[in-house]
Amino acid sequence: MAAVNLLNLDRDALTAWFGTMGEKPFRARQVMRWIHKRGAADFDAMSDVARTLREKLAREATITAAPILRSGSSSDGTRKWLVGVGGDEAVETVYIPEDDRATLCISTQAGCAVNCRFCATGMQGFSRNLTTAEIIGQLWMAEHELRPAVAAAGEGATRAISNVVFMGMGEPLQNYDAVLPALRLMLDDDAYGLSRRRVTVSTSGMVPMMDKLARDCPVALAVSLHAPTDALRSELVPLNRKYPLAELLGACKRYLQHSPRDFITFEYVLIAGVNDADRQARELLQRVADVSCKINLIPFNPFAGSKYRRPDAQRVRDFAAILTEGGIVTTVRRTRGDDIDAACGQLAGAVRDRTDVAARRATIEIVAAPPPTPTPTPV
């Protein structure tokens, strides 16, 4: 029988697993603290666990995070890891240090099936969902790789990561069964002890799963909006055809009844000449008028193969000013890590696309292309 990877198990699942071994529930708490608080990958290191149990764990279990294939550091302190998930595939994890926080951006899928037109991950297609171990393993790896530097700084911090955002590769709510235990581990005081306000799930608009998350494990929510009208959003975010804006904003209002924050964050990637006009800013104000929210504007981050452009700084300021004057708290995300392709929308990793997105896009472009102009026949 294959060894059980304990990184896949939240508190309830780990307690149940110890129960099948005839062990008392407190063993789950002991082992969780060793794995997640102390970063143990070796059962022999668990000095307060009985030797007989350590030997049993060594036979029947493992603590295995996805391996780091490559890492890089940006001039602004951002770090990016390429993490192997088997089959020559990899996902990306990004660490973003700031004065008042240290944020880890994690991936939940190898690729993404949502197929947003302005995202490098979406351009790459989709291979598979990550397991809970592969998701929480990104935090486990980063926390314990960075912790020595935090300790050396001598500022009394007990952990390296203060915030986690599910904004890496993939749509988290399309991988709900693996994401939920990872969330519960992040919030568990015997694991990472993060507050619900400091863990953010980003979604492209999976309405039924937003409602489910509100019931099961409400954390901070960010919604990828990107357009004020259904026609434009359906072009940029194809999922909008299934869950149009009225349904999506209705789900946002329902989520606020459970949210640890009193607002929803709307992410809005500004693309030159596509969704950055003053008229569209005013339409956006009207669209979100009855939703308690803040808007995070993200100037488009270019990547190879994209047809879109970043708006100039003045256009971004003008768009933001209209929203602010309309009473919406508005921020402009500072681009971080773009020199190592770690900025928002740039994560790509290495994915074997099982959805043939490139071929389907090529077909769409051929169908949509205007017919060639006939060449006049010489007289």
Asked if 92 contacts 107 with a C-beta cutoff of 8 angstroms, the reply is yes
Nearest to 185 by CA among 65, 93, 97: 65
Residue 12 CB neighbours (<10 A): 11
Tokens of 83: 């993490």
SS (H, E, C) 88-135: CCEEEEEEEECCCCEEEECCCEEECCCCCCCCHHHHHCEEEECCHHHH
Which stretches of the chain are assigned E, i.e. beta strand?
4-5, 61-62, 68-73, 79-84, 90-97, 102-105, 109-111, 126-129, 163-166, 199-203, 220-224, 264-270, 293-299, 329-332
Query: Residue 215: what residue type?
Result: R
The b-or-e profile of 299-318 (16+ CB within 10 A means b, else e) is: bbbbbeebebebbeeebbee
Residue 99 CB neighbours (<10 A): 5
Check 92, 134, 143, 171 and give the catalytic one: 92
| CA atoms 38, 41, 47, 53: torsion sign | positive
Residues 82 and 304: their CA atoms lie apart, in Å, by 18
The β-bridge relationship of strands 90-97 and 220-224 is unpaired
The b-or-e profile of 194-205 (16+ CB within 10 A means b, else e) is: bebebbbbbbbb
Residues 207 and 253: their CA atoms lie apart, in Å, by 11
Check 143, 293, 344, 365 and give the catalytic one: 344
Identify whether 92 is a catalytic site residue: yes
Supply the residues annotated as catalytic. Answer: 92, 344
